[in-house]
Structures are given as C-alpha cells and as structure tokens.
Amino acid sequence: MTPASPPVRFEVWPGKAYPLGATFDGYGTNFAVFSEAADKVELCLFDTDDSGRDRETRIPLPDVDAFVWHGYLPGVEPGRRYGFRVHGPYDPAAGVRCNPNKLLLDPYAKAIDGTFDWNQSLFGYNFGDPDSRNDDDSAPSTAKSVVINPYFDWGTDRPPGHEYADTVVYEAHVKGLTRTHPGVPEQFRGTYAGIAHPVIIDHLTSIGVNAIELMPVHHFVNDSTLIEKGLSNYWGYNTIGFFAPDSKYGVSATPGAQVQEFKAMVRALHEAGIEVILDVVYNHTAEGNHLGPTLSFRGLDNGAYYRLVDDDKRYYMDYTGTGNSLNVGHPHTLQLIMDSLRYWVTEMHVDGFRFDLASTLAREFYDVDKLSTFFELVQQDPVVSQVKLIAEPWDVGPGGYQVGNFPPQWTEWNGKYRDTVRDYWRGEPATLDEFAYRLTGSADLYEHTGRRPVASINFVVAHDGFTLRDLVSYNEKHNEANGEDNNDGESHNRSWNCGAEGPTDDPEITALRARQQRNFLTTLLLSQGVPMIAHGDELGRTQHGNNNVYCQDNELSWIDWENADTKLMEFTRAAAALRAAHPVFRRRRFFSGRPVRPRASGGNRLPDIEWFAPDGSEMTDEDWETAYAKSIAVYLNGHGIPDLDARGQRVVDDSFLLCFNAHHETIEFSLPSREFGAHWTPVLYTAGLDPNEAAPVPAAATVKVDARTVLVLQAAPD
C-alpha cells in the first residue's frame, strides 16, 4: 500500500458543479464528477516520492449539487494525476457496483496517463465467482486522469470549412499512416506530430485530400485477452476517455503533453486546408460486460451510464458486440456525449465526427428511432450542429441497418455504395441499375428525406475489411495471425482475386489487379457524393489477405511506404485532379433527367444526364433489366448543373461521357451524336492513357474500351 498521508496538505473549497471534470483556471483546479449512486466521493491526488513510487492523497469532495460532487483545490496545477473513489452500495443484481477500493478514471478527464496492469484488482469480483465482491486496491494497477493546461497558442487558426461537395475524405490511423515513412523523423513516427509533418501533409494534398478522418484517438484500452496473445487493440474502438487524446500517439512522456501535441497537429493540418474529422465511439466503453473490469463508469454510476437488462440488472444490453451499450436515455450520459463533442470542436478545433455504430445512439428503448433525444440535442446545439456529422448507420442489434434513414443534417457511410460497386466490378449479374443509383449520389436512399448527394459518404474500402489491393487479390480472408482460427472478420467480402489467391507472378493477373484498383478509384472519385479513400489504398497497401487487423499493431497493418505503388499514386492524383477541376462530378443536387440547355445543332435541349448502351442507343427499361449487361455509358451535362457559385452565378462546366466496361471482353462504344458534342477527348483511362496521344474522337464514332476498364471523355464544343 502507498502512504495515505503525504507530507503536503491541500486546502479544499466547495467549488462548482459545472463544468464537470478537472478545470484549471490559473490559480487552482475545480473537480466535479457525477454520481447519483454515491454516498461519498473521494478525490485522489497522486505524486511520486523520492523512490519514484506513487503517493496518494485522498480528499472527500465537500459538496454535492444535483448528484454532482465537487471541490476546488488552490495550487493544484496541470500535470497532476488524479482519480476518484466512490463509496456506495454494491449490489450487482440491482445494477449498482460502487466500491471505494477501485480507483476510477474521471469520465471528463482531458488527459490520461499510464496503462492498465491486468490483474485481479481491476475487477469488482473474484475470478471464478462473478457474484462475489473483490476489495483489492486497484490504484497501483490502473491509469490515472491528468489535470491539463487548457491554454494553447492557436495563432490565426480557423476551420477550413469545406463544403461537403468539395470534400475528399481520407480515413487514416495515426500510427499506421506514419510509422514507416522515411521522411518523418524517427521520434515522430506513429504520432500526432508525425501526421503534422510536411511530408505527410504534402502527400495528402497531392492526392486531393482536404479532410482526414482519424480512427479513434479518444483514450482507449488494450484488452487483457489480446495482451495475453502478444497482440493489442490497434484500431482503438475500446474507448475509456471521451475527452482525452490517447497518450500512445504522443511524443513527450510528460503527463498531459499529448493535448498540446494534438492541438499542434490540428493547427498544422488547418494551415494546409485539411479538415480533421474524428472517428468517435460513444456507443460503448472498454469496461465490457458483467465480467469486465471496473475502470470508471461502472464504479461511478453503473445504471446511469449503461443500458442494463430490465429483469436482471447484473447484465448489460449489448447492441455493439463489445459487451455493453451506453445508456443514451439517461440525461447525464447524454450530457457527457454532448459535452465531449462540444469540447473537441471548441477546444481542440476539430471539424467533424464519424460516429461508430451510430444506430446504437438512436436506441432510446429497444428499436432504432431517428427522432431520439440524442439527435434532437445535436439538431439544436449551436456548436455541434455546425460541423460535419457522419454516421456509420448500423449496429449489431435488431433493425440496426439504417442506411438512408438518418436525420437530414447527417451524412452516412453508404454501405450500399460499397457493396454495389464491388459487385459491379467483380462481374456480378443484375447490378447495372443499382450501380447507376450509386454513381449518381444514391437518390433512392436520400432524396426522400430532403437530403442531397453529399449525404452519401462513398467508399469502396474502409479500415474494416480488405485493403483495395487485397480486394482484387483474395477471394477469402486470411486472418490466422489474429489467433482466432480465421473465424473473425467478415467472410462475405464481395472480392475477386482475378484468377489466383494472393501473390502471383502471372503478368496478366497482376495487370488486371492494377486495372481493377484504378477502376475502383475512378468510380469512387467521379461519383456524386463525398468520396472516402482508406489510407494507403492509393499506394497499393496490402494486409496479405487479413481483413480484420484490429489487433495487429505491426508491419501487417502499417503503410509500407518503401514499397509504395508509385504508378497507382500518380493515377490517383490524376483522378482526384479531374474531380477537383470539374464541378459536374461534385454536384450539390441530384440529377433530374430534364432538358436543361439548347442542343448544339438546334432548338432542342439536352438533359442533365443521359444513359447509353454501348451501341449508342438510349437505355431502355429492358436494357436496365438485362441481368448479363455489364457495360454502360453516362453523359454528364456541364451546362445542367443547378448550383450557384459564391457570387450567385450559375455554375457551368464542360460535359463528359463515362464509359464503364465491367465485361471480360473489349467492348466498342458508339459515341453520342454531334448534338452532344462535336468531339470527345480522352482524359482518363484505367487501361492506360498517354496524354500526348489522346487525340479527339469525332461525334458518333466508335471507341474500343478494353475489358474491365473505365474511359472518361471530355466533350469539345461544336
């Protein structure tokens, strides 16, 4: 046991019940924590003695208002580590699990220091007897909350404020993106400072990225089961601190320094015009089910923070597959989430959020309700409602798949886009009509709620699943390294290995795989909606067939910069530049199909979009319903854009013809008649295009489009 009475005594004032957490004001620190279950709450302050061992001072919080226990301590400064001990009933069957022998993290901690030593003391029961009570002191084995310095020189920082339609999102892992980059100094690799390094920022801007979506940076826990296997929770979807940037991605070992480093990263990205979006996990915490550890929420007020089973409150409702679900029906849990979101916007300057398993947040009782209190709070919040809000529109509970059903101000990871585009390019039958919907912004999913094409966050690949290179190289998952006998991860990947499983020296297969990657990137970047690229897909990143690297913090999951596919990277830059240069690929409104401008040869008018069969005829209902059809051309009218620019002028662009051929044979496409354009110039071709040889093709001529390729043609006026 550490000494209970250190040589320093602290003066304690009543303080304030708001804001919650530890708030340093330049003179001292106010501490406030919610617990309706508590009879008494002790603030525990930590320093080190001369031998380097932790020394703890316990201070009962002197006042409580509306179940918020609080106290102000003059002289307590940033860097001080602390936690709470809660005295109260311990009755798991009734849903209460207070135990003052468990040191608890502050749910509002702005920084967390240390790790968890997985032993009996972290658990509220004795191993082998979940109905018993364990009173071992957890303080020596648990992480500590940290008082932070809230002051930071933001200079002239301001949010880039990109319109959704102009946004290109890059999903990235802080460590995986930078860990092996030779241009990043060794001490910065795998950190916030690494992402802020000019070589990383230059790479992002070179491929048109202006928003980086960081996988979880809220402080998370490495599961004991993974540690026992020599693995770790690499992805970070195991949150324990909703306000604290994880110290694992910091450079300095000083407690709390990671906050300043995170802010410096945001400032550097903003200077380059790159927004910062956080992947946040408010649907569950790292404390797991009834057999999990007592680290914070469980010991403070179990029934307030978690959804418990109504007829047996020792157990937890689990809509996430992780053991528990946060109780978003409780006002203090809702307050926690909203306070966290506002903090990251106002104090950390982030530009938006992607909500993991967002359907769970909509479960007030049992069913998913898009009009739940959480969404109402977001709607009326003057801060949170103004940033980018992206839902992962599903969870593992009944009725959890909610693509297309989120409220109007939300955008969504469009899982149907991913599935349809994958099916189309691997040659599945009867995909042509749905492919057309996905290419044009998924009006079938979003238009009925008053949303626009930008409601669709389009992606082919994300962190969860195959990389883009593996999507075209493997038919089956190969997750043996995860230690679960290849039973983890999705088995239905809609992938195609192009003729061989995994690495091959066959030149035809490798060429086809390269072409398929270009097909996916072209489709993604030229679709209406908001494209999202998964980190390293523009470089040919492979995980060697592992589609679930959540536990692989090693070369398997990190980008291999040394062996990057530079040709694929250059192609990605060209496709992104084409999107950026032409607003016809990033319309703010859905296509109408109505005529919008005079034809070049007379008084008739052209529609804003037109679909053609390869023979040049307009698509008929029969054509759309032909199961074996895999080739189509789409005309995008640059004069049919209903958008206005910043000066209120109508946006006018060039027109384009996109020829998609997912067939295994070369197809001849007949170009539209002269009224659509006198000539057509190839500007992008996934089979390879030499710009010096891209001669214009006259109207009504035929062009050969190689098997499994996309040809993009730009119209020249008469």
In the DSSP assignment, the letter for residue 449 is G
Q: How far apart are CA 680 and CA 696, in angstroms?
A: 5
In the DSSP assignment, the letter for residue 139 is G
Environment class of 492 (CB within 10 Å of its CB; exposed 0-12, middle 13-18, buried 19+): exposed
Q: Which residues touch 179 (CB under 8 Å, ≥6 apart)?
A: 189, 190, 194, 558, 559
Determine phi and psi for 81, rounding to 5 degrees: -90, 145
**Taking Cα atoms as reference points, which of 526, 570, 446, 470 lies closest to residue 168?**
526
Active-site residue (options: 106, 356, 419, 553)? 356
In the DSSP assignment, the letter for residue 273 is T
| Two tokens, residue 1 | 């046991």
Q: Say whether 606 sits in a helix, a strand or coil.
A: strand
Q: Which residues touch 151 (CB under 8 Å, ≥6 apart)?
A: none
Place of tokens 């040919």: 540
Q: Can you give 330-354 as a three-state secondary structure string?
A: CHHHHHHHHHHHHHHHHCCCCCEEE
Q: How far apart are CA 110 and CA 218, in angstroms?
A: 10
Q: Say whether 533 sits in a helix, a strand or coil.
A: strand
User: 605-642 burial, b for 16+ CB within 10 Å, e for fewer?
Assistant: ebbbbbbbbbebeebeeebbebeebbbbbbbbbbbbbe
> Residue 70: beta bridge partners?
32, 63
| Two tokens, residue 53 | 């061992």
Determine phi and psi for 390, rounding to 5 degrees: -120, 125
Strands (E), 340-423: 352-355, 388-391, 411-413
665 is catalytic: no
**Taking Cα atoms as reference points, which of 66, 61, 67, 65 lies closest to residue 22?**
61
Query: Regarding beta strands 411-413 and 456-458, do their DSSP bridges make them parallel or antiparallel, or are they unpaired?
Result: parallel
622 is catalytic: no
Long-range contacts formed by 684-687: CB under 8 A, 24+ apart: 684/522, 684/574, 684/575, 684/578, 684/710, 684/711, 684/712, 685/709, 685/710, 685/711, 685/712, 686/515, 686/518, 686/519, 686/522, 686/571, 686/710, 686/711, 687/515, 687/711
Asked if 181 contacts 120 with a C-beta cutoff of 8 angstroms, the reply is no
- Measured from the Cβ of residue 490, the count of other Cβ atoms closer than 10 Å reads 13
> Residue 391: beta bridge partners?
355, 412
At CA 424, angle to CA 542 and CA 546, rounded to 5? 20
Environment class of 253 (CB within 10 Å of its CB; exposed 0-12, middle 13-18, buried 19+): exposed
The alpha carbon of 190 is separated from its chain's Cα centroid by a whole number of angstroms, namely: 18
Place of tokens 């072209």: 522
| Two tokens, residue 369 | 């309700």
Active-site residue (options: 246, 287, 339, 392)? 392
Asked if 255 contacts 113 with a C-beta cutoff of 8 angstroms, the reply is yes
Residues noted as catalytic = 356, 392
